Structure 1
Amino acid sequence: EVVGGAYRKNNITTMELRFNPMKRNRGGEQDLAHIIAAAARGMDRAMLEYPVKPGLIFCLDRAFPYELNEIIAEKAIAWRDRGIVGVDIAGPESATFRVADYRKLMRRVRQYGLGLTVHTGESGPVDEVARVIELLEPDRIGHGVKSAYDPRAMAMLEERGIVLEICPTSNLNTRVVSGWDEFRWIFDQFRRHGVRFTVSTDGPEMLQTYIRDELSTLGRLGILSVEEQEQVAATSMAASFVPNVSDVPLPQRRPAPREVVEREEA
C-alpha cells in the first residue's frame, strides 16, 4: 500500500521502507518471521502491480538492550534474499546505548552485503558523527547536520564517501536546525568539504512533505541550484541500498524525478 501510494502520487520508483519488526510483534505475541514474511509479501505484490523497486531496512533501537537489537540484525541477515537491504540504528540518544558495543555486529551486517545507515548528528553531541564513522563505518548517516560543525567529521565523510540523509522539514520541526539561514550555512559547509548528501523527508505521510517539496523549497530559497538538485537525485540513486534500481522500465519513470524515499516506521 505504501509503495503503491508513493508511485501513484509522486511516480516514485525506488523506495526504502524502514521499520522495526520487534515493535510489531505485540510484545512477543507474534513470531518475528511472520511479521517479516508479511512485509516481504507486500513488497512482492507491489512489484507485480507497479514498476517499482522497494527494499526494507530493519531499524535497531537505541532504547533496546543489545540482545534485542542483535536479534533484529540477525533477522536482517537471514532475510536478505527476500528484500531486506539494510540495517539502521535509530531512536533518541540514550545513556545506556554505547556505539562501541555494536562494532562487531555491524561489521557482520556489512559482511553479508547489507547496507548500514545510522541516525546521528541530530540531537546528540557534535562529535558523535565522527565517533560513529570511526567505530561502525556506515554507508550513510541519517540526518548528520551537526557534522557541519565538526571539521573532523567533515573530513571523514569526504574521505570515505559517506552519504548524509538530510531531512530539512523534519530538522526544522524538531528545532535541530534553527531555520533556513542555518540550513544555508550547513549546505555551504557540505559544498566546501565535498560531502555527499541526499534530500529526504523522514516520513512523508507524517510530516506531509515529499521530496519534490523539499527540493522546491531549497531551490526557491536559493540554497540549492538546479544543478545541485540534479546531483542530489543522482546521489540518491547511487547511494540506495536497493539493488539494480536502473532495472525499472524507463518509460514508466517519467516525468517525475526518480528519488529514493526514506520512510521510517517506528
Structure 2
Amino acid sequence: MFNVVNLPKIELHCHLDGSVRLSTLKELGTKENILSPDIEEDELRTLAEVPEHCPSLVDYLKRFELPLKVMQTETALARIAQELVEDASADGVRYIEIRFAPQLHQLQGLSLNAIITAVIQGAKAGEALTGTRSNIILCCVRHLSPAASIELVEAGRSFLGRGVVALDLVGDEHNFPPEAHAEAFKLAKSYGYHRTVHAGETGIVDNIRKSVALLYAERIGHGVSLEKDAALYADIKAAGIPLEMCPTSNLQTKAADSYEAHPLHRYLNDGIRVTLNTDNRTVSNITLSEETQNILNAGLSATQLKTLYRNAVSVIFDSEQEKQRLMALWPDEHGI
C-alpha cells in the first residue's frame, strides 16, 4: 500500500481560524490572558476541537471562539498563516487556498487592509520556506450586513493578483440564506474575484441553486445535499461546478452518517467534479492525509484518488502554468 502522506495533495477548503496549532493557541492565549498558563491539553482540546458527538453545525462553529480571540493582531495573523502552510506542506499538500473572514479580526481595531496584508505575508513566508503554493480566499459572513460584505469586497480589491484570489460566504447557513449578500458577489465578479460559496452543508439544497444563480459561485463548499434535488444535480453536473467536500467535518456536523455512506463516493462515480479537503485541521482534528486514508478505507480506489487530485488541480484559483506544475507532480500509474 502506498504512503498517503508522500502523495502530492491539493487543499481547496481550509479555514485559517479552524487550523491553528494547539501549541500556538496556548502560547497566544496565555500571553493575552485568555487562557491560564496551567491549562491542561485535554481542556485546551475541549475548547479548540469539536467533540466526537457534535449535535449540529451551530455547535461546531463554537470551536472558533478561542482562536478568533487570539487572532486579533498582525503578528498573530501572520504567524498562524505561516504555520498553516508549513503544517500543510509537511502533510504533502503542494497547493493550498486558505480562507478567512477579515471582519472577525477587528476586535482590537485593525483595519481590513492590515488584516489581509498580515495573512498574505504569513502565507507567502510559509510558501517561501516550504515550496507549497498558497492563495487567500476572503470570506463574507452570513450574519453580518450586506454592507459589510460590500466593504470587504472593496477592501480586498487591491490584493487581487497579490495573494487574494476569491470571495466566499460562511457561517450559519440554516438561519442566514445566501441571497442577502448577492450584491457583494456581483461586485466581486465585476472586479475579477473568483467565487466559492458554502452551500448545501446543512441539508438546504436550495442554497446551492441560489449560490450559483445569485452569487455566481464557480465552486460550492460542501454541497452534501445536492442529490436531494434531481434537476439541480443534473445542472451542476452539466456545468461542471466542483464541490469542495470535507467528509470528517460533515460527519461531525451530522451532514453525513459515515465515510462509507458519504455522498462523495456517489458523486465521484457519477462524474461530479468532487474534491477532497479538511475544512478545519484543528477544529476537526484532521489532516488531509488522514482524510484521504479515511476515504480509501471506505472504498475509494487508487484510480479514484487520482481523479480527486486531477479534479482539484483543474479548479484551483490560479494560473494554467500552476495547474500544469501540479498535474506533473502526481506519480504515474505504477507509483501507487
TM > 0.5 between the two? yes
2:297 alignment partner in structure 1: 220
Secondary structure of the 1:182 match is coil
Secondary structure of the 1:82 match is coil
Distance 1:218 1:115, change over 3 A: same
Query: Does the Cα contact within 8 Å between 1:51 and 1:248 map onto a contact in 2?
Result: no
Aligned runs of 1:47-196 on 2, under 5 Å?
47-93=127-173, 95=175, 97-183=176-262, 187-192=265-270, 194-196=271-273
Q: Does 1:3 pair with 2:53?
A: no
Q: What are structure 2's unaligned runs of at least 5 residues?
A: 1-82, 332-336
Aligned runs of 1:234-249 on 2, under 5 Å?
234-243=310-319, 244-246=321-323
**CA distance in 2: counterparts of 1:191 and 1:250, whole angstroms:** 21
**CA distance in 2: counterparts of 1:36 and 1:131, whole angstroms:** 28
Secondary structure of the 1:54 match is strand
Distance 1:186 1:34, change over 3 A: closer
Distance 1:178 1:44, change over 3 A: closer
Q: Which amino acid is the alignment partner of residue 128 of structure 1? A: N
Deviation, structure 1 residue 137? 2.5
Q: For 1:38, which of 109, 115, 118 is the aligned residue?
A: 118
Q: Which moved more, 1:15-24 or 1:29-38?
A: 29-38
Secondary structure of the 1:110 match is helix
Secondary structure of the 2:93 match is coil
Q: For 1:231, which of 297, 307, 319 is the aligned residue?
A: 307
Q: Which amino acid is the alignment partner of residue 219 of structure 1? A: L
**CA distance in 2: counterparts of 1:208 and 1:100, whole angstroms:** 32
Secondary structure of the 1:206 match is coil
Q: Deviations over 1:115-172 (max 9, x none)?
A: 2110010114232212322222211101101002211221121121110011100000
Q: Deviations over 1:178-224 (max 9, x none)?
A: 223431x55324533x21110111111222212222222222221x2
Query: Does the Cα contact within 8 Å between 1:22 and 1:32 map onto a contact in 2?
Result: yes
Query: Does the Cα contact within 8 Å between 1:52 and 1:248 map onto a contact in 2?
Result: no
Tell me which of the two structures has the higher relative contact order, counting C-alpha pairs closer than 8 angstroms and 6 or more residues apart.
Answer: 1
Distance 1:124 1:50, change over 3 A: same
1:262 alignment partner in structure 2: none
Deviation, structure 1 residue 12? 1.7
Q: Which amino acid is the alignment partner of residue 87 of structure 2? A: G
Distance 1:24 1:73, change over 3 A: same
Look at both structures and tell me which one has the larger radius of gyration over its CA atoms.
2
2:6 alignment partner in structure 1: none
TM-score, L = length of structure 2: 0.68
**CA distance in 2: counterparts of 1:89 and 1:201, whole angstroms:** 17
Deviation, structure 1 residue 63? 0.6
**CA distance in 1: counterparts of 2:120 and 2:264, whole angstroms:** 37
Q: Does 1:207 pair with 2:284?
A: yes
Deviation, structure 1 residue 105? 2.7
Q: What are structure 1's unaligned runs of at least 5 residues?
A: 256-266
Distance 1:47 1:213, change over 3 A: closer
Q: Deviations over 1:57-95 (max 9, x none)?
A: 001110101111111122222211320011111101254
Q: How many residues align?
A: 248
**CA distance in 2: counterparts of 1:186 and 1:205, whole angstroms:** 22
**CA distance in 2: counterparts of 1:99 and 1:168, whole angstroms:** 23
**CA distance in 2: counterparts of 1:231 and 1:186, whole angstroms:** 12
**CA distance in 1: counterparts of 2:180 and 2:285, whole angstroms:** 36
Q: Deviations over 1:10-33 (max 9, x none)?
A: 132211111111111116x12111
State the superposition RMSD in angstroms.
Answer: 2.4
